[in-house]
């Protein structure tokens, strides 16, 4: 890190000594995000307090030619906020003010460190912010913007990208731009739309404007139990084909039910092959007309039992079962590897069969939790991290599952992002020409490759001048990177 000490002095000048962390032991707090398989200690972590300070920090990094990574709450599951050992980590947790609640226009303006749940709390109970990742109590809206986060209710309501209408962004050269606004369809390119989900590689958002909507009048939730996930999958298809759009449809397999039951104590049958949680929300009158139909469709698909949540308390227990799935899996297995692949919903039976076959082949257990409505699978590959070679085998199996999903017409990631974890699978889904097109966008925002380099793209790529004379970059000369 050339001139590194000078840069750290500058960062101290911008944020104050106490907000620049350089001690190794203190920096270890930030060595991983929610994906603990990867760790790296950055050269420094800075905690700016305002958007102006963020811009000054990024500008100083740009001048020094030092790469940086932005981090929100650090709950991401793809290593998107994994620090760079020779870089600066920009921690946004002090930017946590809600700047404006404009309920009249159904907009909230906030800083990136505000938690997802705080937005709904600020506009409730009359309104809410629909995208609801399972980590919503801790995850930040800035992180949601970076990852285009989903959640259990996005089958009906859509994703972060459908609710973010404006951003203030610090570009990698330290300049500040406004993308979009409170208004929709502003003239010119939808740079706000393309920034959402760009995983911190195009810049860092310092202000986020989101759309909030009226809270549904009524919510009704049921769970039904099936012999297998395949049977539950048939119920999902029947419900969707009937024209019902549930707020959420979540599926858990036998292994997951067992694990969650030990934690949430909902009294669900431990011998069920699958549990299907269906939630309808909307106008009371409409729910009365359609809710019974959902139960009937589950019965027709061969479920052994339908349980309707009698009150809000029971509904919360149902959801606790679902939301406990990841942490509860710790009781089944000392380690597990979470996947986030997506398949066309109709390919569910075929892909599950393939996953079962792969699990037997690798002699490992795979638990399955799905956002069943939109075909987003979260296979949890269980392994013992202390048994020699098992972690590697688990990773390999997880990779095979990803490939199976892509081959079925799906995606390598539905909501967790590519980050470092899935970048090697990008070529399974995208051709060189596709990756080149991505790189064009990247180069427009970050020609020097300073914002979160090494994430998303499978191989390092550089940006040429546009248009202009050709100059060979040292990395290119060494055969370590290609030019675009």
Contact set for another protein, span 242-281 (CB under 8 A): 243-245
The candidate with the shortest Cα–Cα distance to 246, out of 255, 236, 254, 256, is 236
Provide the H-helix boundaries in 333-412.
348-362, 390-407
Angstrom distance (rounded) from CA 336 to CA 350: 23
Binding mask 126-145 for another protein (x = CB under 8 A): xx------------------
Question: 89 pairs with which residues across the strands?
Answer: 45, 69
The answer to the question of residue 369 lying near another protein (CB under 8 A) is no
Question: 45 pairs with which residues across the strands?
Answer: 21, 89
Angstrom distance (rounded) from CA 349 to CA 299: 19
The answer to the question of residue 50 lying near another protein (CB under 8 A) is no
Query: Where does this chain touch another protein (CB under 8 A) — which range of 113-121, 248-256, 317-325, 431-439?
Result: 431-439
Residue 31 or 350 with smaller CB distance to another protein: 350
Which residues fall within 8 angstroms of residue 13, CB to CB, at 6 or more apart? Answer: none
Distance in Å, CB of 435 to another protein, minimum? 8
Tokens of 327: 């942490």
Provide the H-helix boundaries in 81-159.
116-123, 141-147, 154-157
Is the distance from CB of 175 to CB of 168 less than 8 angstroms?
no
Angstrom distance (rounded) from CA 122 to CA 22: 36
Residue among 3, 52, 105, 124 that touches another protein (CB under 8 A): 105
Helix (H) or strand (E) holding 287: helix 284-300
Angstrom distance (rounded) from CA 178 to CA 413: 28
The answer to the question of residue 407 lying near another protein (CB under 8 A) is no
Query: Where does this chain touch another protein (CB under 8 A) — which range of 22-30, 38-46, 319-327, 337-345?
Result: 337-345
Burial degree of 241 (CB within 10 A; 0-12, 13-18, 19+)? exposed
Distance in Å, CB of 321 to another protein, minimum? 22
The owner of tokens 């731009």 is: 177
Q: Give the CB-side neighbour count of residue 241, counting CA atoms within 13 A.
A: 11
Residue among 12, 182, 320, 424 that touches another protein (CB under 8 A): 182
Separation of first and last alpha carbons in the chain: 26
Distance in Å, CB of 298 to another protein, minimum? 18
Residue among 13, 158, 267, 330 that touches another protein (CB under 8 A): 158
Distance in Å, CB of 337 to another protein, minimum? 18
Binding mask 56-95 for another protein (x = CB under 8 A): ----------------------------------------
Residue 180 or 453 with smaller CB distance to another protein: 180
Residue 218 or 304 with smaller CB distance to another protein: 218
Other beta carbons within 10 angstroms of residue 300's beta carbon come to 11
Angstrom distance (rounded) from CA 413 to CA 83: 21
Query: Where does this chain touch another protein (CB under 8 A) — which range of 44-52, 86-94, 253-261, 340-348?
Result: 340-348
Residue 63 or 106 with smaller CB distance to another protein: 106
Binding mask 456-475 for another protein (x = CB under 8 A): x---------xx--------
Distance in Å, CB of 295 to another protein, minimum? 16
Distance in Å, CB of 37 to another protein, minimum? 19
Query: Where does this chain touch another protein (CB under 8 A) — which range of 86-94, 112-120, 134-142, 417-425?
Result: 417-425
Tokens of 464: 């040429």
Window 432 to 461, contacts with another protein (CB under 8 A): 433-438, 440-445, 456
Tell me the backbone φ, ψ of residue 398, rounded to 5 degrees: -60, -40
Q: Give the CB-side neighbour count of residue 183, counting CA atoms within 13 A.
A: 4
Residue among 3, 13, 124, 214 that touches another protein (CB under 8 A): 214
The answer to the question of residue 215 lying near another protein (CB under 8 A) is yes
Angstrom distance (rounded) from CA 354 to CA 377: 13
Residue among 30, 159, 291, 319 that touches another protein (CB under 8 A): 159
Number of residues that bind another protein (CB under 8 A): 92
The answer to the question of residue 295 lying near another protein (CB under 8 A) is no
Residue among 14, 44, 196, 276 that touches another protein (CB under 8 A): 196
Angstrom distance (rounded) from CA 246 to CA 120: 20
Window 305 to 334, contacts with another protein (CB under 8 A): none
Which residues fall within 8 angstroms of residue 267, CB to CB, at 6 or more apart? Answer: 261
Question: 251 pairs with which residues across the strands?
Answer: 276, 370
The answer to the question of residue 99 lying near another protein (CB under 8 A) is no
Residue 36 or 289 with smaller CB distance to another protein: 289
Question: 336 pairs with which residues across the strands?
Answer: 382
The answer to the question of residue 240 lying near another protein (CB under 8 A) is yes
The answer to the question of residue 351 lying near another protein (CB under 8 A) is no
Residue 102 or 305 with smaller CB distance to another protein: 102
């Amino acid at each position: 890190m050339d001139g590194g000490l000078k840069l750290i002095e500058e960062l101290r000048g911008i944020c104050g000594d106490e907000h620049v962390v350089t001690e190794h032991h203190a920096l270890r707090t930030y060595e991983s995000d929610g994906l603990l398989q990867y760790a790296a200690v950055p050269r420094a972590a800075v905690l700016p307090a305002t958007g102006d300070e963020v811009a000054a920090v990024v500008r100083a990094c740009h001048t020094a030619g030092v790469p940086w990574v932005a981090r929100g709450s650090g709950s991401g599951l793809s290593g998107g906020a994994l620090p760079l050992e020779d870089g600066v980590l920009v921690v946004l947790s002090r930017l946590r003010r809600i700047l404006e609640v404009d309920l009249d226009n159904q907009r909230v303006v906030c800083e990136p460190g505000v938690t997802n749940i705080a937005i709904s709390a600020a506009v409730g109970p009359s309104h809410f912010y629909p995208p609801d990742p399972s980590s919503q109590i801790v995850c930040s809206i800035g992180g949601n913007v970076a990852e285009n986060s989903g959640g259990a209710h996005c089958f009906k309501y859509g994703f972060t990208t459908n609710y973010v209408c404006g951003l203030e962004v610090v570009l990698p050269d330290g300049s500040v731009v406004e993308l979009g606004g409170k208004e929709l369809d502003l003239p010119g390119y939808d740079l706000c739309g393309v920034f959402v989900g760009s995983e911190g590689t195009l810049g860092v958002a310092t202000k986020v404007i989101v759309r909030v909507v009226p809270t549904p009048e009524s919510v009704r939730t049921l769970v039904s139990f099936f012999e297998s996930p395949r049977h539950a999958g048939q119920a999902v298809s029947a419900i969707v084909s009937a024209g019902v759009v549930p707020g959420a449809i979540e599926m858990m397999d036998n292994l997951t039910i067992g694990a969650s039951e030990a934690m949430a104590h909902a009294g669900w049958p431990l011998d069920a092959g699958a549990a299907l949680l269906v939630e309808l929300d909307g106008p009371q009158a409409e729910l009365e007309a359609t809710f019974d139909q959902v139960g009937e469709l589950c019965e027709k698909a061969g479920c052994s039992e339908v349980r309707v949540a009698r009150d809000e308390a029971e509904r919360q227990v149902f959801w606790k079962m679902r939301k406990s799935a990841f942490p509860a899996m710790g009781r089944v297995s000392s380690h597990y590897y979470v996947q986030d692949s997506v398949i066309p919903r109709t390919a569910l039976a075929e892909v599950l069969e393939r996953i079962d076959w792969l699990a037997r082949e690798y002699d490992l257990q795979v638990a399955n939790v799905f956002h069943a409505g939109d075909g987003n699978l979260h296979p949890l590959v269980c392994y013992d991290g202390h048994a020699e070679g098992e972690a590697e085998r688990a990773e390999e199996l997880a990779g095979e599952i990803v490939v199976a999903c892509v081959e079925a017409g799906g995606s390598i990631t539905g909501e967790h992002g590519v980050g470092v974890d899935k970048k090697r699978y990008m070529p399974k889904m995208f051709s060189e020409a596709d990756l080149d097109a991505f790189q064009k966008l990247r180069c427009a925002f970050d020609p020097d490759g300073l914002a979160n380099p090494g994430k998303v793209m499978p191989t390092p790529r550089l940006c040429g001048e546009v248009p202009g004379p050709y100059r060979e970059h040292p990395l290119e000369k060494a055969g370590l990177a290609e030019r675009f």
